[in-house]
Structure 1
Amino acid sequence: MEQDGQLKYMDIFNHYLGLIRSGVLRPDSKLPTESKIAEQFQVSRITVIRALKQLQADGYIRRIQGSGSYVQNQKPADSGLKVVSLIMSLHGQGRELQLIQGIEQKLKAAGYILTVHNSHENSEEERDLILKMKKDVQGMILYSASSIENNRLFEDLMKEHWPVVYVDRYPMNVPCSYVTCDNKDGGYQLGDFLCSSGHRQLALVYHDIVGLSSERDRFDGFMKAVSTHQIPQKNVKILSINRNETEEVVNRIYDELYVLERDKARCPTAIFTFNDSLAILMMESLRNRADIVLPESFTIAGFDDLIGFARPVPFVTIRQDYLAIGEAAAELLLAKMESKSLVNRQVVIPVQLVHYPKSGAK
């Protein structure tokens, strides 16, 4: 019962916070009476009073004894600056700079300053950053560490109508605005290319197709292509690894696929890793594995187009337009902040398949 009361209290708090933040309830507007709110939400007046007191403590309403509760005029930030925070995992890659550039140039033109914060692919760090930043900024763009681990927080942001846009990885089962590349089509293009090139024994190596929407979509697209080419699913070996990409992890993958496999006819002639950083590590490791006999047509497929070095085997990947993704994310966020838009929009940016031939010896 106490938990139900807690949820009801938060429902009331988030309901009126959303109406205030979105501008539906304007400054000096009067809220319904405590008894009417209690009737609407089917709760006790004690629960209603608790929610109203929290709104008052956070500066959203003022309560006048004998008169009622009124929306408080929101004080502008002391600095007068309009700030947006981007929360993401930073790896020092060029794609991140393109994404940031796309976001920043759109926000700057509208008079906003962008701050960037590193979550280190850690959902707890991400949560702490969100809770800290939302007190001081006008909106946020999230390149989330997970599509599910902070779902309760994402639901609260949605209920509050807090201006937020997700990039690449979007929350599952939470209505939201997001911008992503066409991950499903990218996965399909890779699968179609490999199958059309004659590959019949395949392997997939992924991190988390349950917790990462981008990987789930790439997986779905790839398997659709495999099905279209009428390749049995038993011909596709699927391996899951954690996010700690190391040479030791890669060596275990090679051992499982090639060293421990007794039927060499079942060894994959192509491996699809769900990002290029893992693909790069796999290609680098090949130089130290003289014990592995690879099929003549062996190919590695990745995603992101980060390759820029000698390739011991042919490589195929998907190129994303990170600049366009950043620009679109900023435009969606500006609509939420400036126009108080409550409409959630989803933007999908097309992708391009890129094929690199072998360059350099194993």
Structure 2
Amino acid sequence: MAKTEPLYKLIYNSLKKQILTGTLPYNNQLPSEKELADQFKVSRITSKRALNDLAGDGYIRRFPGKGSFVIFKDLPRQRPYTISLLLPFFKNAGLEQYVQGISDYLKPTPFQLVIHSTQDDPDKQRQLIQSLSKETSDGVILYPSFPASLIDLVFNLFLDDFPIVLLDKELIDLPIPVVSSANFQGGYEATLHAIKQGHKNILFFSLASYLENSAVKNRYLGYLKALHEHQIQPALHLQQSDYPSNMDQNHLLQSFLEQTKKQGCTCIIVEHDILALELISTAAEMSWDIPRDMSFIGFDDLSLAHMITPKLTTVKQNFYQIGYAAAEKMLALITDPVKNESIVSIEIPIELKIRNSVQFIEHKKGADN
């Protein structure tokens, strides 16, 4: 659990951010101790400490009887204030909401958002990251499509004190903040719902490697916790590597569904909605009746999730809030002239959206699994 920030520090950081981003420019008068105390609902002692610390750090000067004035002068810049955003695609499930959240947070600041598409290509992603520097950008918000291939580049940027915030996935053991959904809780709640609906043979399905994708790993761990609490063994987990490398996606999914049903599995929790929808489509081609022949739970809550029949039960991610929080974290990194000590990652709450893709299974008393 992250340590709660002292109240005076909240005021200090809020005013410092306004000073460094130009909202409170040079020679502007700050609110009084009383006005700040009223605004933040704190004592005057607390607001006074915040102002005294700003004065001590060279941002403002306090004049008895006159008030506090900004004395910080930013150096002239040769380019606009910019934040670089690297996404796999310009438009994709949820990604446009990331952009909207980031853009809305940056609106009242002098920072412009510059969006780059990595085209879901590891080489293109590396090329774009290699082009980043303090001369071209003030910081980067990065959605790492291929995390393992980026560790060297991202760590070098970090060592150069270049502000970095990651979306959705962490880079293992690197001290870089990540803003993501509460993936562990999402996996846990999805599995708990399946258990409450009477399912006892539940499988978690992913085409991603858990070592490569921290978001999927945490969803899987949440799944395992829910099963453990109810003394249910996890179903045999199949990954893409378990199938011949030359098998196309459609045949792979058909083979997966056939094997899963033979194992007696009744519910599949899927790493994300797109894959869940592909599975349901494949099951329909096989003349399966969903959810009677198989129940499905996704993760994301894309618009298609409630447009198909049956509507998909899924874990809703708040992509907008993730983007908004990432921009807020980015400006906190940029506006701290000393290396920002707060490398705490942020988890945005999820919400389980219960629809019709999970069948209720009634078990007779004394009956075996």
TM-score normalised by structure 2 residue count: 0.68
TM-score normalised by structure 1 residue count: 0.70
Residues 237/257 of structure 1: CA separation in 2 closer, same or farther (3 Å cut): farther
Matched, 1:140 2:136: no
Matched, 1:191 2:187: no
Superposed, which structure 2 residues align to 1:46-125 within 5 Å? 78=78, 80-90=79-89, 92-93=91-92, 95-125=94-124
Note the alpha carbon deviations across 1:238-263, whole angstroms, 9 max, x for none: 12238xxxx942442332442x57x8
- Kindly state the Cα deviation for residue 283 of structure 1 after the two structures are TM-superposed: 1.5
Which of residues 316, 320, 323 in structure 2 aligns to 1:319? 316
- The answer to whether the 8 A contact 2:168-2:181 is kept is yes
- 2:217 equivalent in structure 1: 216
Matched, 1:276 2:273: yes
- The answer to whether the 8 A contact 1:298-1:313 is kept is no
Note the alpha carbon deviations across 1:292-351, whole angstroms, 9 max, x for none: 577726211111001435534463211111111111111111011122342212111110
Letter in 2 for 1:170: E
2:326 counterpart SS class: helix
- Kindly state the Cα deviation for residue 237 of structure 1 after the two structures are TM-superposed: 2.4
What 5-or-longer segments of structure 1 have no aligned partner? 1-73
Letter in 2 for 1:216: K
Superposed, which structure 2 residues align to 1:19-34 within 5 Å? none
2:226 counterpart SS class: helix
Letter in 2 for 1:353: L
Residues 240/159 of structure 1: CA separation in 2 closer, same or farther (3 Å cut): same
Residues 102/149 of structure 1: CA separation in 2 closer, same or farther (3 Å cut): same
2:107 counterpart SS class: helix
- 1:17 equivalent in structure 2: none
Q: How many residues align?
A: 275
CA RMSD of aligned residues (A): 2.6
1:356 counterpart SS class: coil
Note the alpha carbon deviations across 1:223-279, whole angstroms, 9 max, x for none: 11111111123xx1212238xxxx942442332442x57x84x33211111011111
Residues 250/82 of structure 1: CA separation in 2 closer, same or farther (3 Å cut): same
1:125 counterpart SS class: helix
Identity among equivalent positions (%) equals 24
Superposed, which structure 2 residues align to 1:298-337 within 5 Å? 298-308=294-304, 310-313=307-310, 315-337=312-334
- 2:127 equivalent in structure 1: 128
1:237 counterpart SS class: coil
Tell me how far apart the structure 2 counterparts of residues 314 and 251 of structure 1 sit (CA, whole Å).
Answer: 24
Letter in 2 for 1:97: E
